[in-house]
Every structure is written in C-alpha cells, then in structure tokens.
Chains A and B, each alone.
Chain A
Amino acid sequence: MRQYPRWPIHLILLVVSALMLIPFVWVLKTSLSGENIFSYPPSLLPRDPHLFFYVDVWYTIPFFRYLVNSAVVSAIVVAANIVFNSMAGYALTRNFPAKRAMILLFLSCMMIPFQVTIIPAYLITKKMALLNSYLGMALPVCSTIICIFVFKASFEAIPKSLIDAARIDGLPEWRIVLRILLPLSKSAIATNVILAFIWSWNNFLWPLVIIRDQEMQTLPLGLSRFLTVVEDTTGALYAFCIMVLLPGLILFLLAQKEFIAGLTTGAAKG
C-alpha cells in the first residue's frame, strides 16, 4: 500500500487549530491589557500586560459568592445526571413493552427547545417551593436525554454475560448498575460530568427566571450585573469571561480523553 506523507495534513490541522484559537487568544489578550479590538496597530501579544482587570472583577461584584453558587448548582446537576441518566440508560438496554416507542419519545423530546417548556417548568418549580433555591436552579438539567443515550451506548458495549453472571449470583438490578456497569463505563461518566457541568455552568435563562435574591445569583447572571456596574468595561469584561470560562476549561482538559472515548463508545458497534 502506498504511504502518503503526513505533514500536509498536520500543517493544515495546525493552521486550522491556530485559527480556531484566535478568538480565545484575543479574549485573553484583552483581559490582560484592556486593548480595544480596534486598537492600531493590531498585535497578537498584549502590550504592558497586567492582572488588575481580574482584581477589578473580584471586588466590583461578589464574585466569590457567585462562584460558590455556580459550583453548588453544578455539583447537584453533575451528581443528579450520573444517578438518573445511568438508571435511565440501563432501563433502555433492557427489553420491555413499547421500548422503541419510548426511545422515539426521548428522541423527539430532544427537538423541543427549553424556551418552550420554561413556563410549565417555572410553575412546577413554584409548586415544589423551589424558586430561588439551588435545587430549583438544578432541576431542569438534572437529567438530559443526550447523556441517557451516552450511558445506553456504553452499557450496551459491555458483554451481556457479565450482567447474567451477576444476576445468577443474586445481585439486584441497582447493584448491577452500581457495581458492574458504572465501573466499566468511566468514559460515559466523564462525558456526563463534562456535559452536565458545562450546561449548568453556562445556564443563564433559567436562573434569571427563578432567582430573585442577588445572593443566589450564579456567574452568568453576575456577568450581566457586572455590565451595569462597570463603566470602562473592555478589559474587565474580558477578564470576567476568562474567570467564568476557566473552571469548565480545566475540567474539559483534565477529562478530555475519557470524554472523547465516551462520545465514541458504541459508534462503530454492529
């Protein structure tokens, strides 16, 4: 078989990667120098970089409070996603009447945007007395259909004989999920953690609707509040964006191997 040189592909990938990184580099540069996007001559590296815009963000609004709120809500969402999605994913690997209809229902529900269901979601949350609370903020994203299918694909890739053996040994269904399937589905768990974390971390609309107390606001709401407080926004605004982005970025970089494995599990099956 003829071997083609690999360097052209690598070169193209390098150029495309660099192009995709430009917006992020630009945000980082502006957060360090406050240079406006229209500053002339344009430069890739910041002139006279400093960290004072980050200090401004920290003190202008109760950043730490918002960070804690976002972290608590994200922790609830991540934990709930792993528990509920793994249970639902396992159920979808079993045979039961109307299984196909159930899967079709799930898939069709994915097409309904959240904005459509926001009023019923608000009314349900109000009836549960969860308005203005961490649990209320977490509730609509406690289980997501995409992540259920990630678990389903991962569980289906595990040999059935293992589950049968566990059942013969007398393990109840919940312990089969807990002791056999979940330890073998680390990539699916990582995918769930990353997706649930990012969705919850970036969620703006739902907290905006149900949060009344400033003390309960999360970082995306803090960003909109910050814009109303600071007059010279360029550098500080970009610094705020970096501070909001950083936790998700660190989490993704740490778990990217498992994340990609989780998304591709079962992709080449059958």
Chain B
Amino acid sequence: MRQPAMAWLRNRYALTLGSLAALAIFWNIYVALNNDGIIAGRAVTADQQPVGGATVILSERSLLVAVPKGQATTNEKGEFRFTGHALHRLYLEAHKEGVGRMPPKEFRLYFKGQNLSIEKPLVLAESR
C-alpha cells in the first residue's frame, strides 16, 4: 500500500528537529526586528514629578569596573533615550544637581541590542 505524501513529516525525528528549526527561525526573526538598541525611559523625583535636564549614564560592568557606554539628558518631560547599544546586561544611573541621584540599576536582556522600554521610571532622590 502506498503511503500518503508527506507521511515522513509525522515521523518523531522530523517533528522534533523541524520544531526546533522553526523555533530558531522565529526567534531570529524576532531578534532582527527588535535589536535596534533603543533604551527609552523616564526620570522622576520621589513624588513622581518629571525631572528635566538630568544626566542618565548607560554602563556595562566588567569583572572589576563599570565601563560607561553612553550618556543622555532627559527632556522637560523627564524622558531619555539611547540608541544603538549592543549590550545584554547593562546598568543605568541618573543624577541631577539639586534633585538627587539614582544609583546604578541592572537591566538584563535576552539578546544584544534588544530594545528596552523601561516601565518603572528612574527615581532620583537625595542621597542621605
């Protein structure tokens, strides 16, 4: 008896390896569409007021030291934006004279250059 066409597709080897290949293809497409290296967020005071003119520093940690990778200044709405980063583990810190500072905070990404929209704003507070 003749087997129906494409019957080999129901083989467990074809199914498993095919699923893995499909997963890899979809993941790579997703990465290609989301790796512009954009980091966007806001800086606010402890009472949630936007902080304009604050300096936000993007850095990477090596074994011993923090290596700065970029710097941005917030606009009047407290928004900042970095483009073209190529990191998967990064640190953001912010400060403004007279308002306060936020110590380095770690952000981890699933691939290098992943676009990151920070939901929780960076909170600048007077250090004690």
| B is a partner of A | yes
Within 8 A of A (CB), among B10-61: 12-13, 16
Q: Nearest B residue to A56 by beta-carbon distance? A: B89
- When distances are taken between beta carbons in the complex, the residues of chain B under 8 Å from A56 are 88-89
Q: Nearest A residue to B114 by beta-carbon distance? A: A55
Stretch at the interface among B71-79, B91-99, B105-113, B118-126: B105-113
Q: Number of A residues contacting the other chain (C-beta, 8 Å)? A: 9
> Is residue B65 contacting chain A, with contact meaning CB distance below 8 A?
no
Q: Number of B residues contacting the other chain (C-beta, 8 Å)? A: 11
- When distances are taken between beta carbons in the complex, the residues of chain A under 8 Å from B88 are 55-56, 59
Bound Cα distance from A231 to B61, whole angstroms: 12
- Which of A55, A231, A250, A254 meets B109, CB within 8 Å? A55
- When distances are taken between beta carbons in the complex, the residues of chain A under 8 Å from B110 are 51-52, 55
| Leading 8 A-B pairs by shortest Cβ distance | A52-B108, A59-B88, A55-B88, A231-B63, A55-B110, A254-B13, A254-B16, A254-B12
Whether A59 pairs with B16 at a CB distance below 8 angstroms is no
Bound Cα distance from A254 to B17, whole angstroms: 10
Tell me whether chain B's interface is mostly helix, strand or loop, or mixed. loop
Number of A-B contacts (CB under 8 A): 20
Within 8 A of B (CB), among A123-171: none
Min CB gap A234→B, angstroms: 16
**Mask for B80-94, Cβ within 8 A of A = 1, else 0?**
000000001100000
Bound Cα distance from A231 to B89, whole angstroms: 15
Q: Nearest B residue to A52 by beta-carbon distance? A: B108
Bound Cα distance from A55 to B16, whole angstroms: 23
Bound Cα distance from A52 to B63, whole angstroms: 18
Taking Cβ atoms with an 8 Å cutoff, the residues of A that contact B are 50-52, 55-56, 59, 231, 250, 254
Whether A55 pairs with B12 at a CB distance below 8 angstroms is no
Bound Cα distance from A50 to B89, whole angstroms: 14
Bound Cα distance from A234 to B124, whole angstroms: 33
- When distances are taken between beta carbons in the complex, the residues of chain A under 8 Å from B109 are 55
Q: List 8 A-B contacts (CB under 8 A).
A: A52-B110, A55-B108, A55-B109, A55-B111, A56-B89, A231-B63, A250-B16, A254-B13
Bound Cα distance from A218 to B16, whole angstroms: 24
Q: Nearest B residue to A255 by beta-carbon distance? A: B13
Q: Nearest A residue to B15 by beta-carbon distance? A: A254
Q: Nearest B residue to A247 by beta-carbon distance? A: B20
Q: Nearest B residue to A257 by beta-carbon distance? A: B12
- When distances are taken between beta carbons in the complex, the residues of chain B under 8 Å from A50 are 108
- When distances are taken between beta carbons in the complex, the residues of chain B under 8 Å from A59 are 88, 112
Q: Nearest B residue to A59 by beta-carbon distance? A: B88
Q: Nearest A residue to B108 by beta-carbon distance? A: A52
Bound Cα distance from A254 to B13, whole angstroms: 7
- When distances are taken between beta carbons in the complex, the residues of chain B under 8 Å from A51 are 110
Bound Cα distance from A51 to B89, whole angstroms: 13
Bound Cα distance from A121 to B108, whole angstroms: 46
Min CB gap A58→B, angstroms: 8
Min CB gap A50→B, angstroms: 8
- When distances are taken between beta carbons in the complex, the residues of chain B under 8 Å from A250 are 16
Bound Cα distance from A5 to B76, whole angstroms: 77
Min CB gap B67→A, angstroms: 15
Q: Nearest B residue to A50 by beta-carbon distance? A: B108
Q: Apart from A52-B110, A55-B111, what are 9 other A-B pairs with CB-CB below 8 Å?
A: A50-B108, A52-B108, A55-B89, A55-B108, A55-B110, A56-B88, A59-B112, A231-B63, A254-B13
Chain B CB within 10 A, most for which of A51, A55, A250:
A55
Bound Cα distance from A51 to B88, whole angstroms: 12
Bound Cα distance from A213 to B6, whole angstroms: 44
Q: Nearest B residue to A53 by beta-carbon distance? A: B108
- When distances are taken between beta carbons in the complex, the residues of chain B under 8 Å from A231 are 63
